[in-house]
Amino acid sequence: MREMVILLRFIIFGLMIFIRVPFIDAQSRYPVTSSTLQTLYHNETQDHLTYLAYAQKAISENYPRIAYFFVTLAASESIHARNYRQILSDLGIKVKETPKPEIKVSTTKENLKSAIHSELHVIDQRYPQFIEKIRPEKHETAIQSITYAWEGEKQHRDLMEKIKSGTGMFFGFLAQKIEKTLIQFHICQGCGSPVVELSKDICSICQCLPPRYKEVEMVK
């Protein structure tokens, strides 16, 4: 009986080690990558919630098309966050959930200015920095996922620059132009890329086959 108890304890101990190995190995093999993915997951989740709050403010100020722009950004960020979370899960690393952030909502003019500034900063500085930071660890899926997010956002960099130029004293003219422009966005469900013209063959960013697009609906 004693031998049986010892054997069972040995088996349980062995199983505990076996279960913990992927976690320990991933943390030791990809410390920078896992930390960066945690940061990105947190940032994208917070941006998703922030843009949804901005959209509601735009609706309350009677800017439905600007609200639609915010919802498009939110949808894209949500998919980025999902992808980063999935990579961490595949590595056996528990995602560190953060408390729901306190979101500072101002006027639509200020919210739009803040969103564009944040997006351009991410495109021009943060994403390339993240990629170079994790590249030495050679986790190809992580590098690819961050690159896809970066490439998807770069598609609309020129549009964001134009919007940025109008968020000052000419905001009234900018808002009128946006509200009169009927653009329909679709989001690639693979990489989160927002597109206006749908590809029937392949997503131009992540090359998923067949392309999986979901139409972004107007806020009500």
The answer to whether position 80 is within a domain reads: yes
The answer to whether position 194 is within a domain reads: no
**Sequence-ordered list of residues with C-beta below 8 angstroms from that of 214, at least 6 positions apart, any chain:** 75, 186, 187, 189
Which of 3-12, 51-60, 92-101, 128-137 is predicted least confidently?
Answer: 3-12
Q: Is 161 exposed, middle or buried (0-12, 13-18, 19+ CB in 10 A)?
A: exposed
- Provide the percentage of residues in the chain whose pLDDT is more than 70: 88
DSSP reduced 3-state for 32: helix
The answer to whether position 115 is within a domain reads: yes
The answer to whether position 190 is within a domain reads: no
At residue 19, the pLDDT reads 47
pTM summary value: 0.84
Q: 104: pLDDT confidence band, cut at 50, 70 and 90? A: very high
Tokens of 117: 């500034």
Q: How many CB atoms lie within 10 A of CB 15?
A: 10
CA distances for 141 relative to 83, 107, 145, angstroms: 10, 39, 6
Give the number of domains in the chain.
Answer: 1
Give alpha helix (H) positions in 30-93: 31-60, 64-90
Q: Is the pLDDT of residue 69 over 60?
A: yes
Q: In what order do the strands lie in the sheet with 213-215?
A: 194-195, 186-188, 213-215
CATH number at residue 161: 1.20.1260.10
The answer to whether position 213 is within a domain reads: no
Domain with 56, as residue range(s), is: 31-180
Q: Is the pLDDT of residue 182 over 60?
A: yes
Query: Residue 30 carries which DSSP code?
Result: S
The answer to whether position 164 is within a domain reads: yes
The answer to whether position 204 is within a domain reads: no
Q: 169: pLDDT confidence band, cut at 50, 70 and 90? A: confident
The answer to whether position 155 is within a domain reads: yes
